[in-house]
């Protein structure tokens, strides 16, 4: 069989299993095992076990449950509420101030949790009722929370960066550092959009009434809320940037720091630890099993010539090597509308990255572009994860259609940010190159 027919059979069986309602891990794993059996015979099935063991034996994977536990503890610590109250007092008096404050809090929270779901749900519970109560439009409210929550996969520490580094043999520390300016670019774009929109349409983002605005004394007192997050982010990222810790060791620092923050806010008890541990176990097991299944799938597909096929198809794009880059972004965007970001990464990264390196592009820069695409995937209809997180938190008068409409401007802003990063690679590569 030719590679084209093999591709149709492999991905066809994978998509059929997904359409039948089978979870991603079993769809990928079953397609890989069945494909291995029919292409190479039963004697080759031991390769699946070897690939799974090889993936499980990676030290960098230890960072995943630790960062997830860190996020779960912070979700229960009350830090997000304190940060939002701080932004409310400092920015509530300007048009669009609560939207800007929500985006900033989402960015800070993203720098502590490493996953999108925790940031989105936490901020929806904290910011959504307040913004709606002060007359903010439901579309601006939902859009800022959903887009801000999506920053959790881009601003380090990010679980997606960890798995990406594992699968592409790229430095996780460099990817983390490249994610910082990328996240700041998107935060600035979101803030400018909110301010400009509310400047010309003040009815959708009014200022907090003067009688409810905080005094300078209250603003100064509220600054204490930023203390613990600042120490925690500095300890995690500082240990990485200073070369004092590997990503896995930095994750351990973050996990302990999150418990200290929860204890300082008097929210650390056995119930909180048990709930956080259960959530960590569930999410970590999900990530690990997807890693194992996708590892088998991509190993099979790569062995039968996937890289040559991808290179041939992408070479048809006009524009030379930049046409290849743009073609990859388009593929990721389309896949992001329908598939899980982790699955997309494990399917495409082992194929795309060797092509990119052979074309002379920086793999760290390209890795950051990938994660920005996956951040967009959290918002793109019909299956963006953050859309469903928001649906579980919004009041009944906000429909799924409202959520879809709310995120469209922010998807466009993410695309603009992606274009800026592509046009000026130094924005992403400067910091990793300086530190390492």
Question: What is the DSSP code string of 39-58?
Answer: HH-GGGGHHHHHHHHHHHT-
| pLDDT at residue 35 in the model | 83
60-94 tens-digit pLDDT = 677 778 888 887 887 777 787 888 888 989 998 89
Residue 195 has pLDDT above 90, yes or no: yes
Q: Which has the higher per-residue pLDDT, 391 or 436?
A: 391
Average of pLDDT values for 228-240?
A: 81
Q: Are 335 and 344 in contact (CB under 8 A)?
A: yes
Question: Between the ranges 18-32, 48-62, 419-433, where is the mean pLDDT highest?
Answer: 419-433
292 alpha-carbon distance from chain centroid: 20
| pLDDT at residue 250 in the model | 82
| pLDDT at residue 344 in the model | 82
347-400 tens-digit pLDDT = 788 888 988 999 899 999 999 999 999 999 999 987 788 888 888 888 888 988
| pLDDT at residue 295 in the model | 73
| pLDDT at residue 422 in the model | 96
Return d(Cα 431, Cα 186) in angstroms, integer. 17
227 alpha-carbon distance from chain centroid: 25
Rg of the chain on CA atoms, in Å = 22
Return d(Cα 431, Cα 436) in angstroms, integer. 8
Q: Which two tokens stand for residue 397?
A: 């008068």
306-332 tens-digit pLDDT = 667 777 777 777 878 898 899 999 989
**Angle at the Cα of 59 (from 435 to 332), degrees rounded to 5?**
70
Residue 203 has pLDDT above 80, yes or no: yes
Q: What is the mean pLDDT of the chain?
A: 85
Give the closest residue to 258 by CA, choosing from 399, 116, 68, 385: 68
Q: What is the DSSP letter of 20?
A: T
Q: Which has the higher per-residue pLDDT, 346 or 101?
A: 101
Q: What is the pTM of this model?
A: 0.83
Return d(Cα 303, Cα 138) in angstroms, integer. 49
Residue 279 has pLDDT above 80, yes or no: yes
Helices 426-435, 400-423: axis angle to 10 degrees equals: 70
Peptide bond into 178 cis (omega under 30): no
């Amino acid at each position: 069989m030719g590679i084209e027919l093999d591709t149709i059979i492999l991905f066809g069986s994978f998509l059929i299993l997904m359409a039948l309602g089978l979870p991603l891990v079993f769809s990928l794993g079953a397609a890989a095992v069945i494909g291995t059996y029919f292409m190479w015979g039963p004697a080759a099935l031991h390769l699946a076990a070897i690939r799974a063991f090889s993936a499980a034996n990676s030290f960098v994977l230890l960072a995943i449950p630790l960062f997830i536990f860190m996020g779960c503890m912070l979700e229960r610590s009350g830090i997000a509420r304190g940060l939002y109250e701080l932004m409310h007092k400092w920015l509530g008096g300007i048009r669009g101030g609560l939207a800007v404050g929500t985006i900033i809090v989402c960015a800070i929270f993203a720098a502590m949790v490493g996953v999108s779901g925790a940031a989105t749900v936490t901020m929806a519970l904290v910011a959504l009722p307040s913004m709606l109560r002060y007359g903010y439009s439901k579309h601006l409210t939902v859009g800022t929370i959903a887009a801000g929550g999506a920053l959790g996969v881009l601003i380090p520490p990010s679980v997606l960066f960890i798995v990406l580094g594992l699968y592409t043999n790229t430095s996780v520390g460099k990817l983390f550092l490249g994610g910082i300016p990328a996240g700041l670019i998107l935060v600035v774009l979101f803030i400018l959009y909110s301010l400009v929109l509310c400047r010309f349409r003040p009815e959708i983002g009014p200022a907090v009434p003067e009688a409810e605005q905080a005094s300078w004394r209250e603003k100064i007192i509220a600054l204490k809320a930023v203390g613990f997050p600042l120490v925690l982010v500095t300890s995690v990222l500082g240990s990485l940037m200073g070369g004092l810790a590997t990503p896995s060791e930095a994750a351990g620092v973050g996990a302990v720091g999150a418990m200290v923050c929860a204890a300082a806010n008097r929210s650390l008890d056995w119930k909180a630890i048990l709930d956080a541990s259960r959530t960590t176990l569930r999410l970590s097991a999900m990530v690990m099993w997807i890693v194992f299944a996708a590892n088998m799938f991509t190993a099979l597909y790569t062995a039968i010539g996937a890289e040559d096929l991808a290179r041939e198809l992408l070479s048809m794009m006009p524009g030379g090597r930049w046409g290849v880059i743009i073609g990859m972004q388009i593929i990721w965007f389309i896949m992001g509308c329908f598939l899980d970001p982790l699955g997309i990464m494990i399917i495409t990264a082992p194929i795309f990255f060797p092509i990119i390196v052979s074309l002379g592009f920086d793999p760290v820069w390209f890795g950051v572009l990938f994660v920005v695409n996956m951040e967009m995937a959290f918002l793109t209809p019909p299956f963006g994860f953050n859309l469903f997180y928001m649906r579980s938190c919004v009041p009944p008068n906000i429909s799924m259609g409202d959520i879809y409409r709310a995120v469209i401007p922010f998807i466009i802003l993410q695309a603009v940010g992606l274009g800026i990063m592509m046009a000026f690679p130094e924005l992403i590569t400067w910091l990793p190159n300086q530190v390492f």
